Amino acid sequence: MKIRKIILILFFSSKLLYSDGFKYLWAEYVTIFKKGIDAREKNIQASVFLLDGYLLYPNIEFSFIEEVINKIPEDEMGPAFTIVGDRRVLGIGGGLCQVATTLYNVALLSGISIRERKAHSSPVSYVSPGLDATVSKEENVDLKIQNPYSFPLKIKAFIESNKLYMKIYGPFPKKRDVKIVVSKAMKKGDYIETITERIISEKGKILFSELISNDRYKIDF
């Protein structure tokens, strides 16, 4: 009984701790999309509805396919241009990659672990090469992230005009600074290549850096 009482106390203490909300902004990222040319905005809105308020619990892997794509009813998605292989085609779900990309970048800036991520085969318009993330349920291409901290983090997602905002909030201030560095794109034949690194520092002192990705994009198509 004593152990159960302690567990209940810890549970309700945790609930009280986070009941005031996640008021500390850890990171934010914004991308711009074109309005009125296809169903991109509709698809983005459907994704934002699912992501806004989502809690990333400690050490639990988040899958974009499972938590977003699989939860959007088919009748809520419309045709929009997307990249398939080396071609831009009109397909259902266009715009979801932009949402995944925006989430990917805010996760990077928050110090969240990137478990799985794949770049597009060619550059996209809403971020620089080295910072994009593509997703496809049909091809089993996912974005997976994981909260490495001992407490939850909260996603805030919303649209203003033609801008998609993604923010991460914590119940405590972020202790470490995060910087994302992408090398200058090097052209090699019909491709460009980039290297993306994440640099973690605290109180002005660099603690460590990590290689995030080596990406290659076709530019002649």
State pLDDT tens for residues 160-193.
Answer: 999 999 999 999 999 999 999 999 999 999 999 9
Asked if residue 89 is part of any domain, the answer here is yes
Token readout for 218 is: 């076709």
Percentage with pLDDT > 70 across the chain: 81
Query: For residue 102, what are the domain limits?
Result: 22-174
Q: What angle do the packed helices 96-110 and 40-51 form, to 10 degrees?
A: 40
Give how many domains the chain has, as a whole number.
Answer: 1
Asked if residue 214 is part of any domain, the answer here is no
d(CA 47, CA 30): 15
Asked if residue 161 is part of any domain, the answer here is yes
Contact assessment for residue 111 and residue 178, using Cβ atoms and an 8 Å cutoff: yes
Asked if residue 154 is part of any domain, the answer here is yes
Instruction: Find the helix or strand (DSSP H, E) in which 10 lies.
Output: helix 2-19
Residue 9 confidence (pLDDT): 39
Residue 131 CA neighbour count, 13 Å, CB half: 25
Asked if residue 133 is part of any domain, the answer here is yes
87-92/79-84 β-pairing: antiparallel
Asked if residue 218 is part of any domain, the answer here is no
Residue 51 confidence (pLDDT): 98
